[in-house]
Amino acid sequence: MPFFSFLLPLLALTSGSRPAPQQPQAAPPAEKIAWSATRPLTWADFKTRPTPADQLAALTSATIDAQIGCKDYVFSAQVRAVFVPSESWVRDAKKASPNLLRHEQLHFDITELHARMMRQKLALVKLDCEHLQPAFRNLSNAAFSAWKREEARYDGETSNGLNEPKQKFWEEQVRQRLTQLDKFALAE
């Protein structure tokens, strides 16, 4: 059976989670930064510019990249949280606060959290190689929906990072949840 590559729909994250534009099939793959506990985001990673209509101070585009397949009827999967610099921006990096960067980093950390949760589900679920695509599509749609809901809740509860006590609460909660799912972290 062939390998399938799924890219959960790119999600531009910050204030009201809105989908980022999909890449055309013929376009070369965009540069991506894989999530790493030892490599936090910097403002230099945010490569594009906001449009005049954009109201936010910054926008993080991240996704869960899943490659799945079956070889000799044995299922395998690789799931990664990735940051997309070409779709991420900061209005003015020179004036942007460290707190804003912490807020954007946590969007990426939440993406990693949901990638780990997906790896956990894939480790527990027995996917049938004969019916791989519909089964994986259902699993990935549920994972994407949960991720999108959590991102929206994060922005809402923290007022896009402006509510410092809530921001710190979220940072601690996400850190604890990532630690609980260390077994499903990718080796660095």
Residues 50-67: pLDDT tens digits?
A: 998 988 999 999 999 998
| pLDDT above 60: residue 1 | no
pLDDT the model gives residue 167: 98
Per-domain residue ranges of the chain: 3-184
Question: What's the whole-model pTM score?
Answer: 0.84
Residue 19 confidence class, pLDDT cut points 50, 70, 90: very low
The pair of structure tokens assigned to 133 is 């695509």
To 10 degrees, what angle do helices 132-158 and 164-180 make? 150
| pLDDT above 50: residue 77 | yes
pLDDT the model gives residue 115: 98
pLDDT the model gives residue 27: 53
Side-chain-facing half-sphere of 171: CA atoms under 13 Å: 14
Residues 120-150: pLDDT tens digits?
A: 999 888 877 887 888 888 889 999 999 999 9
The DSSP-derived string for the chain is --EEEEEPPPEEESSS-EEPPPPPTTSPPPP-EE--TT----GGG--B---TT--SSEEEEEEEEEEEEEETTEEEEEEEEEE-GGG-EES-TTT--HHHHHHHHHHHHHHHHHHHHHHHHHHHS---GGGHHHHHHHHHHHHHHHHHHHHHHHHHHHTTTT-HHHHHHHHHHHHHHHHHTGGGSPP-
- Name the residue with higher pLDDT: 143 or 15: 143
pLDDT the model gives residue 2: 37
Residues 92-121: pLDDT tens digits?
A: 989 999 999 999 999 999 999 999 999 999
Residue 23 confidence class, pLDDT cut points 50, 70, 90: very low
**Calpha distance 106→13 (Å, rounded):** 10
pLDDT the model gives residue 72: 85
Residue 8 confidence class, pLDDT cut points 50, 70, 90: very low
